[in-house]
Amino acid sequence: MMEQDRQIADVIAKEQPRLRSFIRRRVANESDVEDLLQEVFFELVRAHRLLLPIDFVTGWLYRVARNRITDLFRKKRPQSFSEAALETENGELLEVEDLLPARDGGPEAEYLRNLLLDELRRAIAELPAEQREVFVAHELEGRSFKELAAETGVNVNTLLSRKRYAVLHLRERLQNIHDEFLEK
């Protein structure tokens, strides 16, 4: 038991700074960052105590962190496209930001990031005007459906429907890019 405790303590000491940084890039509130970090390590201790097999601890920690972040956003506000998850073949959730190379990954990563962002812009441009306007206003400008309905005179349910179709198109359109990117 003491050996297990030492192993867990070593993993926590090694992974805590990077995991905190990973969570902090996705969660603005510092107390939420710390709460999520503690939840992830609690899950690690719990899994270890229950003798659950964890093949790759680092990957497991990030998957638990990503899931806890998703849970946090679901509790706090409605899901937006940028938080809408894509699933890998293993059922792991990926956010749009996870599909892009890191900003500090060097010239090649920056080139790929810009390439993917250009593809996203093209996919948005392909949307019918009504869907594009709702999507851009809600997702990129952060405007509420109630505000948009008051401004345009269009029913909130119609706006929701337009955004839903936009999201479905973008997910389908960007799935190919996602698949190609993961192959590399």
Q: Which residues fall within 8 angstroms of residue 39, CB to CB, at 6 or more apart?
A: 64, 68
Q: Which residue is associated with the tokens 């964890």?
A: 54
Pick 106-183's CATH classification: 3.40.50.2300, 3.30.2290.10, 3.40.190.10, 1.10.10.10. Answer: 1.10.10.10
Residues of the chain with CATH 1.10.10.10: 106-183
The reported pLDDT for the residue numbered 74 is: 74
Q: CB count, 10 Å around CB of 44?
A: 20
| Secondary structure of residue 93 in the 3-state scheme | strand
The reported pLDDT for the residue numbered 86 is: 46
CA angle 123, 113, 33 (to 5 degrees): 105
Residues of the chain with CATH 1.10.1740.10: 2-77
The reported pLDDT for the residue numbered 141 is: 81
Render the burial of 17-28: b for 16+ CB within 10 Å, e for the rest: eebbebbbebbe
- 142: tokens are 């952060």
Whole-angstrom Cα distance, residue 170 to residue 12? 38
Q: Which helix (H) or strand (E) holds 41?
A: helix 30-49
Whole-angstrom Cα distance, residue 78 to residue 94? 17
Consecutive sets of 10 residues in the chain, 184 residues long: mean pLDDT of each?
76 88 86 90 81 75 88 63 46 50 68 77 91 87 88 91 88 73 54
Strand residue runs (E) in 91-137: 93-94
The reported pLDDT for the residue numbered 102 is: 63
- 179: tokens are 């698949």
By C-alpha distance, which of 23, 99, 90 is closest to 61? 23
Q: What share of the chain is helix, strand, coil (3-state, %, to 5)?
A: 75, 0, 20
Q: Which CATH class is domain 2-77?
A: mainly alpha
